[in-house]
């Protein structure tokens, strides 16, 4: 495929779209098993949704303990498996993103589990606990920002998934940096982070559905919307022009 004075191979286009982690756009490589990306995206989306419903205090809920089970088994273990399967498919981006966020949920579950003694280790030092939780979340903000940069040539839905997640990490981290007088995270900032987290969850489900729904199994399919500077979009525009 020729764009301007440069030739762009099909493999380069696939890599630009995040490989199979951007379902519905990138052609899957030849393989003997299914595309793991929708599974990983669903695991991420559902677990994020459950936690962020507590973050926004939906129906007065403030205790997120129910999400611990999801964090260990669905958002954690299942998403980690999906990431490893992306590694088999030679998709570095998909393997890094899904495996890392699977690790995030496992770490979150460990923090929230009394048996690990992580929270109790701080005793009455709520300031130290809040600062460390803030550092934890802000580190994920920095990591996710790098992923956002890697999605700038993908689709709108794929970019928004990581962009809204990045803002959520930032706000949740800042919420712990500026806690209330009672020692808890700043409620207003945490709620805002929860809203962006919910948006990220729905974008994850949207992208997962794009990889699951086909003309053979669904009356409704999702057409990916490429970013304006997407290589494939530019090539098609040049060809039609």
Check: CB of residue 47 under 8 Å from CB of residue 205: no
pLDDT the model gives residue 68: 97
pLDDT the model gives residue 183: 86
Residue 1 has pLDDT above 50, yes or no: no
Q: Which residue in 55, 41, 48 sits closest to 70, CA to CA?
A: 48
Residues 47-52: what's their mean pLDDT? 98
pLDDT the model gives residue 225: 82
Per residue in 102-129, pLDDT (tens digit) is 999 999 999 999 999 999 999 999 999 9
Q: Which residue in 115, 101, 109 sits closest to 44, CA to CA?
A: 101
Per residue in 9-21, pLDDT (tens digit) is 444 434 433 446 6
Q: Which residue in 38, 18, 60, 13 sits closest to 162, CA to CA?
A: 18
pLDDT the model gives residue 142: 98
pLDDT the model gives residue 30: 58
What percentage of the chain has pLDDT greater than the value 70? 82
Residue 45 has pLDDT above 90, yes or no: yes
Q: What is the 3-state secondary structure (H, E, C) of 73-115?
A: HHHHHHHHHHHHHHHHCCCHHHHHHHHHHHHHHHHHHHHHCHH
Check: CB of residue 182 under 8 Å from CB of residue 133: no
Q: Which residues pair with 155 in a beta bridge?
A: 226
Residues 145-154: what's their mean pLDDT? 92
pLDDT the model gives residue 238: 55
Residue 23 has pLDDT above 60, yes or no: no
Check: CB of residue 41 under 8 Å from CB of residue 74: no
Pairing, β 6-7 against β 2-3: antiparallel
Per residue in 82-97, pLDDT (tens digit) is 999 999 888 899 999 9
pLDDT the model gives residue 59: 96
Q: Per-domain residue ranges for the chain? A: 34-240
């Amino acid at each position: 495929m020729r764009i301007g004075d440069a030739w762009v191979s099909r493999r380069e286009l696939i890599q630009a779209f995040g490989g199979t982690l951007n379902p519905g756009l990138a052609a899957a490589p030849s393989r003997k098993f299914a595309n793991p990306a929708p599974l990983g995206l669903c695991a991420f989306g559902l677990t994020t949704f459950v936690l962020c419903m507590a973050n926004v205090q939906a129906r007065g809920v403030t205790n997120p303990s129910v999400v611990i089970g999801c964090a260990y088994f669905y958002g954690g273990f299942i998403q980690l498996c999906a990431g490893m399967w992306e590694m088999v498919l030679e998709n570095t981006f998909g393997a890094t993103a899904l495996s890392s966020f699977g690790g995030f949920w496992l770490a979150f579950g460990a923090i929230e589990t009394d048996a690990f003694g992580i929270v109790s280790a701080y005793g009455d030092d709520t300031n130290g606990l809040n600062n460390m939780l803030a550092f934890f979340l802000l580190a994920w903000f920095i990591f996710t920002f790098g992923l956002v940069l890697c999605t700038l040539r993908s689709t709108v839905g794929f970019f928004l998934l990581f962009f809204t997640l990045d803002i959520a990490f930032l706000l949740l981290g800042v919420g712990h940096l500026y806690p209330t007088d009672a020692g808890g995270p700043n409620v207003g900032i945490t709620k805002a982070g929860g809203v962006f987290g919910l948006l990220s969850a729905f974008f994850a489900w949207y992208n997962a559905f794009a990889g699951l729904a086909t003309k053979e199994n669904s009356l409704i399919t999702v057409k990916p919307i490429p970013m304006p500077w997407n290589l494939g979009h530019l090539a098609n525009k040049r060809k039609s022009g």
